[in-house]
Amino acid sequence: MLDGLRRAIIAGLIAGLVAAPVWAHVAQPMRAAQFALAVQEPHQVTAADRDQARSPAEPDARDREQEKRDREQEARDREQEKKDREQERLDRVQEMYDDGREALDEGKYAKAEERFSNVVRENGQLVDGAMYWKAYTENQQGKREAALTTIAELKKKFPKEVSNQQMEERCRGTRDRNQEPLRTGS
């Protein structure tokens, strides 16, 4: 009887070995390392194992999630580009302002006036100073009425930043032919 049992076990093992390649093609193959891990630690399943076990509808969900992440990244990229463009604009305005001050220091009033006018046109954070220096350069070039107009615009745009007394002090350099200080309407 023991001999018959041995023969049955050996026949079963041989049949299993012969049938194993057929089963490997029918079912998804499990690598030896995965099998060993699953046997030793069945509660730990890898992400690859989970991905393999997902249903056909889940790849669509993953694709939608990836598309959503891509759209979010594109939105962040656009926002960063917008910030970069604004910073470049601010840098250009600062450079124009600095060029105007340099031209003013060199006595090149026409060039300084042009640079300060460009700063005013850009309407950045340096507008008030640019308007003041524009009025100054206009006055230095003998454009008295233009200087007064610029000063009036400055006072209109920035009434809280520049008090009338401060403006009068700034405008003392703007004098008429009789060396009388110009009246700015204070």
Backbone angles phi, psi at 141, to 5 degrees: -90, 0
For residue 159, the model assigns a pLDDT of: 79
At residue 163 the predicted structure's pLDDT band, cuts being 50, 70 and 90, is low
- 182 pLDDT more than 70: no
* Structural domains of the chain, with CATH: 57-186 (1.25.40)
Alpha-carbon distance of 24 to 22, in angstroms, equals 5
Burial of 68 (0-12, 13-18, 19+ CB in 10 A): exposed
For residue 116, count CB atoms less than 10 angstroms from its CB and return exposed for 0-12, middle for 13-18, buried for 19 or more.
Answer: buried
Query: What value does the mean pLDDT take over residues 145-162?
Result: 85
User: pLDDT of 29-67, one tens digit each?
Assistant: 455 555 555 555 555 555 555 555 555 567 788 899 999
Residue 76, pLDDT above cutoff 70: yes
Residues 51, 54, 55, CA angle at the centre, nearest 5°? Answer: 150
pTM over 0.85: no
Amino acid identity of residue 84, one-letter, is D
